[in-house]
Amino acid sequence: MKKYSYYLVPLILMASCESIGFDDPSTLTNAEAIQKIKSLGYVLTTSSVQTAFETTTNNAGGSHFSLWADQSTNTNGSQSWWDFANEPRLRLNNNAAYRGNAAVREVYSNFYQANLDATKVIDIIENQQVRIYDDAGADRTADCLVGAYYAKGISQGYLGVIFDRGIIVDDVSLSVREFPHSYKDLIENGIAHLDKTLQLVEATPDLRFDFLTGITISRDDLIRLTNSMAARILSSVARDQAEAEGLGDAYWNRVLGYASRGFTTDFLITTVVGGYYNALVDVLERPYGGATYVPVDIKIPYLVDKNHTTPNSYPVDNSIILGPIETDDGRFYTYFAYTSNFGILLEARGRNLFSNYVRTRWMYPALSTLNVAGASNPYFLAEELRLLRAEAKYWLRDYAGAAAELNATSAARKAKGGLPDIAPNPADLRDALHYEYAIEIDAAGGTFVPFTFMRRHDLLQGGTPTQFPVPQIQLELIGLDTYTFGGKDYAGERGIYGELATANDNGWKRSP
């Protein structure tokens, strides 16, 4: 009988290879469970898809990458945010008892759980040749196969973007104990599963993708979403600029192809009771103490200030409170708001980390949470696809084409911002892309965007980890030594595959 040997053991159905009694589902073998619980495959698919969606916009992990990207700032000990925001950068603590390690563990375990559940569904359908039914008795085999491949593609791909190594779980009988696959392997495996998803969708004209509570994603939107996610994941492999440059024209043409088939309008999800909501945007805009729980980093007003008087770190003199900036970008006053109230920020933990700006685009002040029926959640913005197309052309040295993407009248920076054209040269294009990721995408990029854009363009502060290590708890289970990345004194550190694991001190601002 097939069983999981991996350490993230999914669900009760893996409990035993011998059946003790059939009244208790926890005593069934895999084959018995499949036969007796007709909706088991549908339940597993639903769990896998929901976990994948939730973790791509997770607070844990997402808020931490936002701090490392200097999109956000904090001095709060909650989730160890202060440690991630601190300057100079600290070495990431990969101890399982460390509060901030929950971000590493949660992202890792969630995506692997989604992957394992999806792997079981694929095994049920493709290897065991068993039909899958929903609770109403409808045959959902084709729908579940699409859902499983999509969840696997997202999960494996995101694991490769975020972690330095891992294990490809495509077989329910897998017994490998190590982590033999590089981040590149994980990403390519994820893309292969997304390609398979697109093939299956093409062959399923009556597809019903209803695995999110109260939400059915149309067939056309699923095609666009799969292409959009593939472009995001594939573009996010590089740990520094040299690696991004070395990927070559064929690689960046792949990114361009996926991005060209992605969304042309924003993909938003409406909250229903008990359903999906964007937990990352929720926490980054949550009101607290006259400001918000996770304020905007000073990088944002620094980039936008047309007078160029905003410093790149807040003044440590407590008699100084910076005033509102002036900008020609019409979006800024809609997306962000000035406050003289420092709210949650504590001077004793570094006034240099202070900020006078909060986010107001998606939730605050009209709502105090997105976890309320009727709230609109950004899941994938069409403008991110424009930026990916422009960036792919940038790496392909088609600077005129990249500039044309950014200067189009429909581009957010033009249609909403009213900003002047960008010149078709590498320096101006990179600066414009950085600006757009910081202002237009921000929290709507999910767990790792804009962090990964900054990573592949050498824009992170020196000492910032470029990736997560495998969590200590997983390493200890198989007797491997704990390792980690980051810290100012480790700038330029390399990982086991030769990749940059700790950012050099050549980012958007120098490390203090």
DSSP string, 290-356: TEESSPBPTHHHHHH-TT----SS--S-TT--------S-TTHHHHEEE-S--TT--GGGTGGG--S
Count CB neighbours of 55 within 10 A.
25
Instruction: Tell me the C-alpha distance between 473 and 475, whole Å.
Output: 6
Cα distance between residue 436 and residue 455, in whole Å: 15
CA distance 73 to 460: 14
What pLDDT is recorded for position 31?
58
Maximum pairwise Cα distance, the chain: 75
Rounded to 10 deg, the angle between the 382-395 and 399-407 helix axes is 160
- Could you give the CA distance from residue 177 to residue 165 in angstroms, rounded to a whole number? 13
d(CA 394, CA 368): 39
- Tokens coding 27: 């005593």
Residues ≥6 apart with Cβ < 8 Å to 252: 392, 395, 396
- Quick one: pLDDT at residue 11? 34
What's the rounded Cα separation, in Å, for the pair 442 and 278?
A: 13
Please list, in sequence order, all residues whose beta carbon lies within 8 angstroms of the beta carbon of residue 98, skipping any fewer than 6 positions away.
80
Cα of first residue to Cα of last residue in the chain, in angstroms, is 58
State pLDDT tens for residues 434-462. Answer: 999 999 999 999 999 999 999 999 999 99
Helix, strand, coil tally for the chain in percent (to 5): 45, 10, 45
| Domains of the chain, start order | 1-32 (no CATH), 33-236 (1.25.40)
> What would the pLDDT profile of 263-298 be if each residue is shown by its tens digit?
999 999 999 999 999 999 999 999 988 899 999 999
DSSP state letters, 20-65: S-SSSGGG--HHHHHHH-TTHHHHHHHHHHHHHHHHHT-HHHHHHH
Instruction: Give which of 181, 177, 174 is closest to 4, Cα–Cα.
Output: 174
- Pull the structure tokens for residue 153: 């593609």
Tens digit of pLDDT per residue, the chain (512 long)? Answer: 333 333 343 332 333 233 323 334 445 555 555 555 678 999 999 999 999 999 999 999 999 999 999 999 999 999 999 999 999 999 999 999 999 999 999 999 999 999 999 999 999 999 999 999 999 999 999 999 999 999 999 999 999 999 999 999 999 888 777 899 999 999 999 999 999 999 999 999 999 999 999 999 999 999 999 999 999 999 999 999 999 999 999 999 999 999 999 999 999 999 999 999 999 999 999 998 889 999 999 999 999 999 999 999 999 999 999 999 999 999 999 999 999 999 999 999 999 999 999 999 999 889 999 999 999 999 999 999 999 999 999 999 999 999 999 999 999 999 999 999 999 999 999 999 999 999 999 999 999 999 999 999 999 999 999 999 999 999 999 999 999 999 999 999 999 999 999 999 999 999 99
Q: Which two tokens stand for residue 269?
A: 């999800």
- Antiparallel, parallel or unpaired: β 215-217 and 209-212: antiparallel
Residue 463 to residue 24: CA distance in whole angstroms: 53
**How far is residue 324's CA from residue 291's CA, in Å, rounded to a whole number?**
15
Q: pTM for this structure?
A: 0.93
| Residue (of 147, 171, 129, 159) closest to 48 by Cα position | 147
pLDDT confidence of residue 32? 57
Query: CB neighbours of 457 closer than 8 A, spacing ≥ 6?
Result: 241, 244, 430, 433, 434
